[in-house]
A = this chain, B = another copy of it.
Amino acid sequence: MNKKVLVIGAVAAGPKAACRAKRLMPDADITIVDMDNLISYGGCGIPFYVSGEVADEKALRSTTYQMLRDAAYFRDAKGINVLTGTKALSINRKEKTVLVKNLDSGNEEELKYDNLVLATGSAPNILPIAGNNLGGVFAISDLHKAIAIKEKLAKGEVSNAVVIGGGAIGIEMAEAFADMWGIKTTVIEYMPQLLPRILPKTIAMMLEKHLKDKGIAVYTGTSAKEIKGVDGKVTGVITENSEIPADIVIMAAGVRPRSELARDAGLNVSHSGAIVVNNRMQTSDPAIYACGDCVEIINPLTGKRTIAPMGSLANREGRVVGDNLAGIPSTFNGWVGSFIMKAFDICVGGTGLSIEAAKAEGYDAIESLVCGYDRTHFYPESSLMFLSLVADKKTRRVLGLQGYANMGDALLARINAIAAILDKKPLIEDIGNMELAYAPPFSTAVDTLNFAGYIADNILSGKLRAIELDDFLNWMDGKTENPDWMVLDLRHERESRPFVKKFADKWLSVPYNKIRYEMDKIPDNKTLIILCNSATRSYEIQCFLDGQGNKNTLVLLGGINLLKRLDIKWWP
């Protein structure tokens, strides 16, 4: 008898598990069921479809060799049976059957299995606020919703969009609306920053500024209280502060696992509603596997289990399931939180813990925030990149890296290097010593990632003493009084002049290459906040002043290059 494998869910993890299993067991009898008729699509591509960069939704459902991944494709090319428009109603674990219903005909039948795979995915959270069911309010639960949104845009029905949720999908959708369709777009995020938890506050502030520069209104620390409508159609979103007009509202407030089927069958499901699996993606019933957005996976850094709804993980998990179905004991070892995303002309991304997340986990953590070039500065296309390397003070262990760079793969190249080793418990010296490929069109002789390791080392050895950005900004904003503070600006006089002029009492200019000869200008009763473009010169002068016996200095990491990318009112 050929092994019978039944897979529930035909988007990403399910088909991957099924296809891998079929390649390993050509004789197996494999069936996938899915409620939907549109299957095996790249859900991560939806914002790019909505924007128009991907013209046709069929592109999201096609192979690289231009075959549409429909049921006929799976049957003819893969030898896999797919029942679309078919809902799984319940699992009979004792009999090893699943009751399914054809949504067109209403017919129900029992499908037998030797192994069952649950790839039931996730559903977007719907905020429990008035108006959440008005016409024009969307949560992106599937490709149909994306098609409906794009049709609405194409008809010219949308002038004002509000995106609720400043996570990755929210920001991608906002860009799609604003950049490609010229729609006045607002993003509301109830946490105090964009991409909360995964980006450090500093980089989130830079991202926010970039979105604003591109015409998007961003309100962080702001909740959607109610969605208003007329004649059943959305007209605006009410927050604590205002009413924002809207012809369309996107709820991008996270997702929850679809695990009802598993729970009803008595499988182990977590408090957060995710299916619990071991590292072979096996549920509490050894005959049943689960993978994709519906499961919880472990973060080896924190030891905690979370959902991680990403297409890349769904595929890797699906392959592990396929292996195990065929008797190969492959394992999936978790996720340390690597991500990357485009936002107009820049990208942000990271892996592991941000400085705030590390502190929240109880680490006595430090942040090495550096600004460096993505390729040699003399190479024509070079541009600045910001990296935030996070490490534990006590053990020197690296906990994470996040960054901000111009669009392209430069940031990816640094994140991937850290993502590759993060579960191997690297120390900060491993980052300074890390071997990275070098040539002028690709990196700097001291790669900015190596440099971030060096700076972390300098911080931990006490040689580099930095000021918190917030402390600096609050002081400049007049929110705190620090009469003993003074900026020591090491840049060329031409660059520092407007600052000295505007902030005469607290901004001192002594160029980097003159300080050894102009020590008389340096006040000895002030805390000097040393500033240059990137902080490289600032650190050097901090060392020099230490040698002169003046240790009352602090470096502003990221320097003017960082400040320029923040939404600062006092800029001269």
Query: Binary interface profile of A, 408-437, with partner B (CB < 8 Å = 1, else 0)?
Result: 111011111111111110000100111111
Complex Cα distance A311/B441, Å?
13
CB of B412 within 8 A of CB of A443, answer yes
CB of A376 within 8 A of CB of B45, answer yes
A44's partner among B419, B433, B445 (CB-CB below 8 A) is B445
The residue of chain B having its C-beta at the shortest distance from the C-beta of A64 within the complex is: B377
Which A residues, 25 to 54, have Cβ-Cβ distances below 8 Å to chain B? 26-27, 42, 44-45, 48, 53-54
Complex Cα distance A53/B377, Å?
12
* Interface status of A512 (Cβ within 8 A of chain B): yes
* Interface status of A342 (Cβ within 8 A of chain B): yes
CB of A421 within 8 A of CB of B424, answer yes
Residues of B within 8 A of A379 (CB): 45, 48, 53-54
Query: Binary interface profile of A, 550-563, with partner B (CB < 8 Å = 1, else 0)?
Result: 00000000000000
* Interface status of A438 (Cβ within 8 A of chain B): yes
Known A26-B544, A312-B445, A341-B439; contact A76-B514, beta-carbon cutoff 8 A: yes
Residues of B within 8 A of A424 (CB): 421, 424
CB of B440 within 8 A of CB of A45, answer yes
CB of A436 within 8 A of CB of B454, answer no
Which A residues, 337 to 368, have Cβ-Cβ distances below 8 Å to chain B? 338-342, 347, 349-351
Residues of B within 8 A of A314 (CB): 445
A54's partner among B378, B437, B544 (CB-CB below 8 A) is B378
Residues of B within 8 A of A65 (CB): 491-492, 512, 532-534, 537
A339's partner among B27, B310, B415, B437 (CB-CB below 8 A) is B437
* Interface status of A78 (Cβ within 8 A of chain B): yes
CB of B409 within 8 A of CB of A436, answer no
The residue of chain B having its C-beta at the shortest distance from the C-beta of A409 within the complex is: B409
Residues of B within 8 A of A26 (CB): 543-544, 546-548
Query: Binary interface profile of A, 490-502, with partner B (CB < 8 Å = 1, else 0)?
Result: 0110000000000
CB of B513 within 8 A of CB of A76, answer yes
Complex Cα distance A331/B429, Å?
9
Residues of B within 8 A of A454 (CB): 319
Known A420-B435, A434-B420, A544-B79; contact A378-B316, beta-carbon cutoff 8 A: no
Query: Binary interface profile of A, 55-69, with partner B (CB < 8 Å = 1, else 0)?
Result: 000011010110100
Q: Among A27, A62, A419, A429, find the residue whose CB has the most chain B CB atoms closer than 10 A.
A: A419
The residue of chain B having its C-beta at the shortest distance from the C-beta of A323 within the complex is: B457
Known A376-B42, A544-B26; contact A340-B438, beta-carbon cutoff 8 A: yes
Complex Cα distance A449/B232, Å?
49
CB distance from A436 to the nearest CB of B (A): 5
Residues of B within 8 A of A543 (CB): 22-24, 26
Complex Cα distance A438/B341, Å?
8
* Interface status of A570 (Cβ within 8 A of chain B): no
Q: List 9 A-B contacts (CB under 8 A).
A: A64-B377, A316-B433, A319-B432, A332-B433, A409-B410, A415-B437, A419-B434, A419-B437, A420-B436
A residues within 8 Å of B by Cβ?
12, 19, 22-24, 26-27, 42, 44-45, 48, 53-54, 59-60, 62, 64-65, 67, 73, 76-79, 168, 310-312, 314-316, 319, 330-333, 335-336, 338-342, 347, 349-351, 373-374, 376-380, 407-410, 412-424, 429, 432-443, 445-447, 450, 454, 463, 491-492, 512-514, 516-517, 532-534, 536-537, 539-540, 543-544, 546-548
The 6 nearest A-B residue pairs measured at CB: A26-B547, A409-B409, A312-B438, A340-B437, A413-B413, A59-B378
